[in-house]
Amino acid sequence: MSPLPLSGRRALVLGASAGIGRATAIALAAQGAEIIALARRVERLEALLPELRAAGAPRATAVLQDLDDRAGLAEAVDGLLADGPIHVLIHNTGGPPGGPLLGVDGDVLATFFARHVLTAQLLCQRLVPGMAAEGFGRIVTVTSTSVYEPIPNLGASNTIRASVAGWAKSLASELPPGVTINNVLPGFTDTERLGSLAAGRAAKTGTSVDAVREAWLAQVPEGRLIQPEETAATIAFLCSPAASAIRGVSLAVDGGRLRGI
């Protein structure tokens, strides 16, 4: 029997307790990777571990960590690296609250810039040397279609997501052969965060959550919310050996919502 695409590889998945992160951890497990699932919700992480093993992960580990605690994150990752290199990094974390950009406090922008960009920088500085030594590495950031087209009423998120994309594109030209970085841009995806954004939008506009969702879906040629598993399948492909020539790309998984070429 041929080995699975990620057999012998270790994958660190951030935000693994729910939504796209959870679906991605399961998809990578199905490719044979050892999964290190990192998140803040211990009960969900513990419930995920048997699912990862059932999906095909030879080993699954839970790491309880808040990304806003970068010193703690650095310590946790250094401990993981003591067991060997980590070959795959999925940088996935929640975005800022909705609202117009002029209404966002600077401290909020700073917090989310640190959570997204500074955390990614910290992780890559620690993980890339091991990837380079192994001749194989995959880094995928989960951002947003706002990288290409800013989304109304998500001013802070638009700003932070664009920063992540610029960081990743810059890094793409610096990584050694065999180590790639790409961005996956979810559209309207059926996750808890989307539900929270819909509820917030409905409250501000005096409409119903259903009306907000219908307005969003009117922009999507596919006519439905994207499922987390669909986005996870795209991420899993980018992490596979088959995607070795794809580097520095921002790939939308949005049902056709983006209008630009």
Whether the pLDDT of residue 76 is over 60: the answer is yes
- The residue assigned the tokens 């841009």 is 185
Find out whether 130 and 85 touch, Cβ atoms under 8 Å: yes
Would you give the end-to-end CA distance of the chain in angstroms? 42
d(CA 136, CA 87): 7
Indicate if the pLDDT at residue 112 is higher than 80.
yes
Contact of 94 with 18, CB cutoff 8 Å: no
Tell me which H or E stretch contains 106. Answer: helix 106-113
Q: Would you place residue 196 in the very low, low, confident or very high pLDDT band (cuts 50, 70, 90)?
A: confident
Exposure class string for 55-90: b at 16+ Cβ within 10 A, else e: bbbeebbbbebebeebeebeebbeebbeeebbbbbb
Q: Could you tell me which residues come within 8 angstroms of residue 131 by beta carbon, excluding any fewer than 6 positions away?
A: 85, 86, 87, 137, 178, 179
Exposure string of 163-189, with b = 16+ CB inside 10 Å and e = fewer, is bbbebbbebbeebeeebbbbbbbbbbb
Check whether domain 10-187+228-252 has CATH 1.10.3720.10, yes or no: no
* Domain regions of the chain by residue span: 10-187+228-252, 188-225
CA atoms of 143 and 197, how far apart (whole Å): 16
Whole-prediction pTM: 0.93
Q: Quick one: pLDDT band at residue 2, thresholds 50, 70, 90?
A: low
Confidence of residue 1 (pLDDT cuts 50, 70, 90): low
